[in-house]
Amino acid sequence: MFEIKEIPIRDLRTNNGEVEGLPRNPRKISKKNLEKLKKSVQDAPEMLRLRELIVIPHNGKFVVIAGNQRLEAAKAVGMERLPCKVLPEDTDPAKLREYAIKDNLPFGEDDWEILTTEWDPIELSEWGLECKAEQKTSELSKIEFSDIYYKPSRFENLTLKDCIDTSLFDKKVEFIEKSKLTGKQKDTMKMFAYRFLKIDFEAVADYYMNNATEEEREVIERLRLVLLDSGHIDGFIQDDLLRIIKAAE
């Protein structure tokens, strides 16, 4: 079905859609995460042998079906060869598409209670896993951990306007106003344009902690714009934390 061999990086190609029936690689990686991946490759290069790239021959080279980010990281750190599982050149394109997607599907999920109580957080961070804050009380389990936590850092002199960038939204509204739409159509389009508002949630957290009135704090809590964890904020008292949890229910 396949053979395993080391292939020079100069002969490996990222999937740009050149194989008939196989769309280009749908995965992307940020600069920050690429740096983490490069460090991972450098710290444990043997992992590349434990999980080889999946490739297929094409026009005298090899197109990567699974492992495009690993290829980019290996190039960046100066590696010359990579272990690969080489599929037959006549592999059904439907199978290639299936392999490309299934290789990255996260069927499982991390148990954060085990990670935060039994694993070393420093090691996890070094390996590129960003842990959620440790739960301080049983009440914290009521928070949906799909929410993102932000640590206040800018402290003083923020206003509500500092928490949101309306520049792109304003341009869209201006374009809508100049259009030939009816008044009702324009109003609807303006609602669609709200997706271009950019909220700075770190600034919201700062404003909440340092500048907001009690009335503003209540509204911010109700809107779930911030969920403040005592593990993130020095001096943030338990009563306030429980009040936020209660408000968010």
Tokens for 97, please give them.
Answer: 């598409």
Identify the residue with better confidence: 214 or 226. 214
Tens digits of residue pLDDT in 129-163: 765 543 333 333 444 434 445 555 555 578 888 88
Cα→Cα distances 137→131, 151, 209, Å? 17, 19, 21
Compute the distance between CA of residue 134 and CA of residue 78 in angstroms, rounded to an integer: 38
Tokens for 201, please give them.
Answer: 């949630």
For residue 234, pLDDT over 80 is answered with: no
Identify the residue with better confidence: 232 or 79. 79
Identify the residue with better confidence: 230 or 173. 173
Output the CA torsion 109→229→223→203 (10° steps).
-110
Tokens for 237, please give them.
Answer: 């008292």
Identify the pLDDT of residue 97.
93
Is residue 53 within 8 Å of 83, Cβ to Cβ? yes
Is residue 83 within 8 Å of 52, Cβ to Cβ? yes
Is residue 1 within 8 Å of 54, Cβ to Cβ? no
Helix extents (H) in 128-182 = 167-178
Identify the pLDDT of residue 153.
57
Domains of the chain: 3-102 (3.90.1530.10), 135-248 (no CATH)
Compute the distance between CA of residue 81 and CA of residue 71 in angstroms, rounded to an integer: 10
Compute the distance between CA of residue 138 and CA of residue 134 in angstroms, rounded to an integer: 11
Whose CA is closest to 171, among 152, 197, 138? Answer: 197
Strand (E) or helix (H) holding 197: none
Q: What is the DSSP code string of 97-139?
A: HHHHHHTT---S---HHHHHHHS-HHHHHHTT--PPPPP-SGG
Tokens for 133, please give them.
Answer: 């804050």
Identify the pLDDT of residue 237.
40
Identify the pLDDT of residue 151.
52
- Against a cut of 0.85, is the pTM above it? no
